[in-house]
């Protein structure tokens, strides 16, 4: 007789079972092209932006924080990259690397600003990042003069190509970057003092402080890294759009937060897994892609996605109470 699964095992498997269930559902509802090899590669490519953002958000949520500004950081990064690339005269120069570094660095600085508001000024993370969300979005619109910013083609544009060059990569370069970053974050959370401190802060910040954990410095680094991941997600968004858009990624912070919660993270802190967050990001991508291919109207998609976000938050509450 097979012994019943323990609740902990069910919670661990839940994100992957939900992903499989949603994929199977759309395999029947959507056209046959949904489960074609090309669309599977497209799904993985489309999940890169939310996935990278979810990795940074995992660090923040595990430590007991929240960051509503990631969508604005992504938009700001796309505008900054486009404006830098407009200055480089010809392919083969170092300007694309500078643009990429500027996107990640700007994201890191934006994250530090959020961390300063939360850790130093003691403003609730929800309120602090809600305000910074508007600030960063406003800065992006100011830099772009409230219009899209075109940029010359560079190797950055190839990062999100579904059919990569060289072909032996099989998947878009952005997918491999996402997987590599996932391994790094997973290692940090599981095997380093940084990760242990983050879990301890999320479980009980007061106790962590009494145990000698430098809570303020740790939170600054966590938000800084979360912002850097948002900046990298912005670079992938730029590669996908091939332009800087100050209105890009509006509402994407909700998809990113939902991906982390679906993946086992708790908005109360102290819980979260890298693999689960990536599964949650892929689930959100499968949902949107499947709805589009099934011809479901946009308003219905918004209702479905909104219901899933509410459901994920509700399950988090039930899990915590249980």
Residues 247-272 pLDDT 10s: 999 989 989 998 998 888 888 888 88
- Summarize the confidence of residues 215-224 as an average pLDDT: 95
Measured between alpha carbons, how far is 217 from 219 in angstroms, rounded to an integer? 5
Q: What is the pLDDT of residue 305?
A: 77
Q: What is the pLDDT of residue 196?
A: 94
Q: What is the pLDDT of residue 92?
A: 54
Q: Which residues contact 303 (CB under 8 A, 6 or more apart)?
A: none
Q: What is the pLDDT of residue 2?
A: 53
Q: What is the pLDDT of residue 281?
A: 94
Q: Does position 319 have pLDDT exceeding 70, yes or no?
A: no
Sign of the Cα torsion 253, 53, 107, 185 reads: positive
Q: Which two tokens stand for residue 265?
A: 């993270």
- Identify the three-state secondary structure at position 316: helix
Measured between alpha carbons, how far is 134 from 127 in angstroms, rounded to an integer? 11
- Summarize the confidence of residues 292-299 as an average pLDDT: 86
Higher pLDDT pick, 168 / 128? 128
- Summarize the confidence of residues 202-215 as an average pLDDT: 91
157: pLDDT confidence band, cut at 50, 70 and 90? confident
- Summarize the confidence of residues 146-163 as an average pLDDT: 89
Buried-exposed string 118-152: b where 16+ CB fall within 10 A, e elsewhere: bbeeebebeebbeebbeebbebbbebbeeebbebb
Q: What is the CA radius of gyration of the chain?
A: 20
Q: What is the pLDDT of residue 94?
A: 65
- Identify the three-state secondary structure at position 55: helix
Q: Measuring CA to CA, how many Å separate 132 from each of 18, 78, 112, 266? A: 33, 17, 11, 23
Mean of pLDDT over the chain: 89
Measured between alpha carbons, how far is 176 from 184 in angstroms, rounded to an integer? 12
Q: Does position 17 have pLDDT exceeding 70, yes or no?
A: yes
Q: Does position 80 have pLDDT exceeding 90, yes or no?
A: yes
Buried-exposed string 229-238: b where 16+ CB fall within 10 A, e elsewhere: bbbbbbbbbb
Q: What is the pLDDT of residue 200?
A: 94
Q: What is the pLDDT of residue 217?
A: 94
Lowest mean pLDDT among 19-28, 43-52, 211-220: 19-28
In the Cβ-directed half-sphere of 19, how many Cα atoms lie within 13 Å?
Answer: 22
Q: Does position 242 have pLDDT exceeding 90, yes or no?
A: no
pLDDT digits (tens, 9 = 90+) for 42-74: 999 999 999 999 999 999 999 999 999 999 999
């Amino acid at each position: 007789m097979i012994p019943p699964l323990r609740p902990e095992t069910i919670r661990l498997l839940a994100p992957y079972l939900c992903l499989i269930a949603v994929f199977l559902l759309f395999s029947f509802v959507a056209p046959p092209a949904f489960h074609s090899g090309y669309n599977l590669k497209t799904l993985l490519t489309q999940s890169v932006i939310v996935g990278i953002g979810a990795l940074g958000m995992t660090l923040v949520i595990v430590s007991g924080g929240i960051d509503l500004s990631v969508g604005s950081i992504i938009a700001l990064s796309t505008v900054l990259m486009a404006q830098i690339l407009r200055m480089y005269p010809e392919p083969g120069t170092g300007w694309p690397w500078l643009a990429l570094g500027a996107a990640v660095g700007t994201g890191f600085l934006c994250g530090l600003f959020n961390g300063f508001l939360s850790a130093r000024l003691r403003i609730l993370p929800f309120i602090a990042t809600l305000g910074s969300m508007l600030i960063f979005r406003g800065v992006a619109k100011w830099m772009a003069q409230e219009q899209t910013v075109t940029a010359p083609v560079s190797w950055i544009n190839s990062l999100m190509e579904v059919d990569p060059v060289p072909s032996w990569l099989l998947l878009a370069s952005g997918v491999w970057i996402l997987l590599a970053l996932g391994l790094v974050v997973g290692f940090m959370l599981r095997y380093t003092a940084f990760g242990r401190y983050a879990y301890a802060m999320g479980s009980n910040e007061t106790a962590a402080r009494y145990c000698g954990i430098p809570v303020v410095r740790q939170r600054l680094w966590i938000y800084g890294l979360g912002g850097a991941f948002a900046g990298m997600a912005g670079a992938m968004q730029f590669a996908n759009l091939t332009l800087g858009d100050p209105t890009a990624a509006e509402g994407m912070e909700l998809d990113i937060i939902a991906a982390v919660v679906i993946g086992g993270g708790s908005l109360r802190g102290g819980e979260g897994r890298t693999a689960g967050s990536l599964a949650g990001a892929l689930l959100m991508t499968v949902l949107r892609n499947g709805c589009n291919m099934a011809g479901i109207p946009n308003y219905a998609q918004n209702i479905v996605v909104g219901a899933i976000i509410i459901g994920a938050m509700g399950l988090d509450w039930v899990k915590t109470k249980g």
